[in-house]
């Protein structure tokens, strides 16, 4: 049976792909999952170079606007590691050279004139399993506030997590198949949009079968991923699976080239659950990810951890192995400890603003005046907002600038709004600098790699790193002419500009089309999952609800 379409054989599927690919030939030599037709295209005029990502195969991306995200790269045209008409040479899965007019022998060429060549985006917090219930609660806040509004009725805590309402949340009813198709479709969606690495916060580990399907989907997606091993959302208490099976789950991922392990350690589940989770991670050198926000009574728990008295034994503290998501509404003392210990912070700007988490804490982070203390970006939940990274970057930039700009206006005479704000005062006194395009590009790439401990492999374009590269088309109607490349990427581009996506040297999207994927086969499975989940919570799918 073909793993992609769940019927027929891989050979039949390959045959249909041949006609679909029009002029390119899939060999089917590696008919594994979605990376199935591993060898992709023959050398045709409109196909990608042959056998990309395979050992020894070489190609050069030629004459692009290259943004390495590595300041100080030899030969750069700006202090930020950027090149006008730069080349990137890839061999196998590795970047071999970056520069201008590279001599590459007989390597195949990808023409990137007029296009941006940069590292793929890195999402440090995404609940991919929720893809079947995308946009099901677009107006919701986190918790029902009793107002009877659409925002209250759709609240995330009950409708998705079944929080204090067993059986009412979609999450309560997920089958392993729902996990698989949700994770796969959501992952492919982000791959198509240029997000080449994800931390999947899969709070859906009800059973070993659920976990196995999440891992299978991450592998079939064919991009870099960290499995976040979290609880099964909606379960009232500890299960025999989470966190007890952490060692076997982590073990099943050891040696995997693209999929790794992060321990979920939600503190709001209580000390009896989070203590063994954190202890397992610390005993075995894994990252610990946790949602930290003032709703769900988390602020005093983080204070306890900041004091070094967290957990059942009153001896757990914050360390540099913590990745804290949101960090809205936390105390100054906890922030100081997070900073001083080198813990990482992932901010979900649009979600936090929409769902009443609190103001995204970017100004709080800037107040430490420490360039090493910057966030990575979180897309969070597609039940409420797109997982696209252009939206992430624009939200981060506009939110921060809104606050700072208003503070500048408020500090002056409202009748004239002079800058600087008062006699003898410099502008923006006591205010952090406005974020600019390069700042949020850094958040979206190298910061994410550092936060996931993947920066030796990805997050920037650098010799000997793996080739996780996106090529963004700057000739489109929406961006041409590109007068400022970082600015054009952040302020003008969107998914349709993502022309080519490369993961570990392998071309996964080529000239606007995702390769090795037949969506006409996957959509019915996702639709069936949606139908099953809506029926389970006794909701009738209605594309135009009454409120």
Q: CB-based contacts of 135: which residues, under 8 Å, 6+ apart?
A: 382, 383, 384
Radius of gyration of the chain (CA): 24
Helix axes 208-221, 176-192, angle to 10 degrees: 20
Choice between 53 and 182, CB closer to Zn ion: 182
Site for Zn ion in 135-164 (CB under 5 A): none
Contact string 363-382 vs Zn ion (x = CB under 5 A) = -----------------x--
Spatial distance between the Cα atoms of 546 and 531, rounded to a whole number of angstroms: 20
Asked whether 298 and 285 are in contact (CB, 8 A), the reply is: no
**Could you tell me the two tokens for 15?**
């045959």
- Minimum Å gap between C-beta 127 and Zn ion is 6
- Minimum Å gap between C-beta 306 and Zn ion is 21
- Minimum Å gap between C-beta 326 and Zn ion is 8
Count of residues in the chain: 547
Choice between 387 and 435, CB closer to Zn ion: 387
Asked whether 185 and 382 are in contact (CB, 8 A), the reply is: no
- Minimum Å gap between C-beta 126 and Zn ion is 8
- The total of other beta-carbon atoms located within 10 Å of residue 110's CB is 25
- The total of other beta-carbon atoms located within 10 Å of residue 308's CB is 13
DSSP-based three-state secondary structure for 335: helix
- Minimum Å gap between C-beta 125 and Zn ion is 6
Choice between 64 and 228, CB closer to Zn ion: 228
**Could you tell me the two tokens for 521?**
């086969």
Contact string 433-472 vs Zn ion (x = CB under 5 A) = ----------------------------------------
Asked whether 470 and 404 are in contact (CB, 8 A), the reply is: no
Choice between 385 and 393, CB closer to Zn ion: 385
- Minimum Å gap between C-beta 64 and Zn ion is 34
Choice between 123 and 380, CB closer to Zn ion: 380
- Minimum Å gap between C-beta 186 and Zn ion is 13
Supply φ then ψ for residue 96, to 5 degrees: -105, -30
- Minimum Å gap between C-beta 386 and Zn ion is 15
Q: CB-based contacts of 413: which residues, under 8 Å, 6+ apart?
A: 422
Tokens 């639709």 sit on residue: 527
Choice between 380 and 468, CB closer to Zn ion: 380
Choice between 323 and 489, CB closer to Zn ion: 323
**Closest chain position to Zn ion (CB):** 380
**Could you tell me the two tokens for 281?**
């991670």
**Could you tell me the two tokens for 416?**
């004239």
Site for Zn ion in 67-96 (CB under 5 A): none
Site for Zn ion in 379-438 (CB under 5 A): 380
Choice between 93 and 210, CB closer to Zn ion: 210
Choice between 231 and 380, CB closer to Zn ion: 380
Contact string 331-370 vs Zn ion (x = CB under 5 A) = ----------------------------------------
Measured CA distances, 345 to 81, 320, 348, 447, 526 (Å): 25, 11, 10, 10, 32
Count of positions on this chain that bind Zn ion (CB under 5 A): 1
Beta bridge partners of 175: none
- Minimum Å gap between C-beta 203 and Zn ion is 8
Residues near Zn ion, by CB under 5 A: 380
């Amino acid at each position: 049976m073909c793993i992609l379409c769940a019927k027929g054989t891989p050979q039949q599927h390959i045959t249909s792909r041949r006609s679909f690919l029009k002029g390119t030939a899939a060999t089917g030599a590696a008919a594994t999952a979605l990376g199935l037709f591993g060898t992709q295209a023959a050398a045709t005029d409109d196909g990608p170079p042959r056998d990309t990502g395979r050992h020894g195969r070489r190609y050069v991306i030629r004459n692009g606007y290259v943004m390495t995200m590595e300041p100080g790269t030899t030969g750069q045209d700006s202090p930020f590691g950027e090149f006008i008409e730069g080349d990137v040479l890839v061999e196998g899965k590795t970047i071999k050279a970056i520069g201008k007019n590279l001599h590459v022998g007989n390597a195949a060429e990808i023409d990137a004139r007029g296009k941006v060549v940069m590292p793929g985006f890195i999402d440090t917090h995404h609940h991919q399993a929720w893809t079947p219930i995308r946009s099901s609660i677009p107006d919701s806040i986190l918790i029902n506030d009793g107002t009877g509004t659409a925002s209250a009725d759709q609240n995330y805590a009950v409708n998705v997590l079944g929080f204090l309402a067993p059986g009412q949340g979609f999450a309560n009813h997920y089958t392993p198949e729902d996990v698989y198709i949700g994770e796969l479709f959501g992952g492919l969606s982000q791959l198509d949009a240029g997000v080449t690495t994800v931390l999947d916060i899969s709070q859906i580990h009800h059973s070993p079968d659920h976990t196995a399907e999440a891992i299978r989907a991450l592998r079939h997606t064919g991009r870099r991923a960290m499995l976040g091993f979290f609880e099964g959302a909606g379960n009232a208490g500890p299960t025999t699976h989470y966190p007890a099976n952490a060692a076997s789950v982590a073990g099943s991922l050891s040696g995997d080239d693209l999929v790794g392990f992060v321990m979920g350690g939600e503190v709001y589940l209580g000390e009896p659950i989070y203590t063994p989770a954190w202890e397992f991670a610390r005993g075995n050198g894994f990252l610990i990810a946790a949602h930290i926000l003032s709703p769900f009574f988390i602020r005093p728990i983080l204070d306890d951890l900041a004091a070094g008295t967290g957990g059942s034994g009153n001896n757990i503290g914050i360390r540099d192995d913590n990745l804290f998501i949101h960090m809205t509404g936390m105390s100054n003392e906890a922030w100081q400890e997070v900073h001083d210990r080198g813990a990482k912070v992932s901010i979900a700007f649009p979600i936090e603003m929409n769902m009443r988490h609190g103001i995204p804490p970017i100004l709080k982070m800037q107040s430490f005046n420490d360039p090493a203390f910057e966030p990575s970006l979180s897309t969070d939940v597609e039940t409420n907002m797109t997982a696209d990274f252009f939206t992430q970057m624009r939200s981060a930039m506009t939110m921060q600038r809104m606050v700072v700009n208003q503070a500048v206006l408020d500090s002056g005479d409202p009748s004239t709004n002079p800058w600087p704000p008062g006699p003898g005062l410099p502008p923006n006194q006591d205010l952090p600098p406005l974020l600019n395009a390069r700042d949020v590009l850094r958040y979206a790439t190298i910061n994410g790699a550092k936060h996931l401990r993947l920066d030796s492999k990805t997050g920037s374009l650098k010799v000997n790193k793996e080739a996780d590269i996106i090529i963004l088309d700057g000739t489109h109607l929406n961006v041409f002419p590109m007068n400022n490349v970082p600015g054009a990427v952040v302020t003008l581009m969107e998914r349709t500009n993502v022309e080519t996506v490369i993961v570990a040297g392998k071309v996964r999207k080529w000239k606007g089309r995702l390769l090795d994927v037949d969506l006409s086969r996957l959509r019915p499975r996702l639709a069936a999952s949606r139908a099953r989940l809506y029926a389970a919570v006794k909701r009738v799918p209605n594309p135009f609800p009454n409120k």
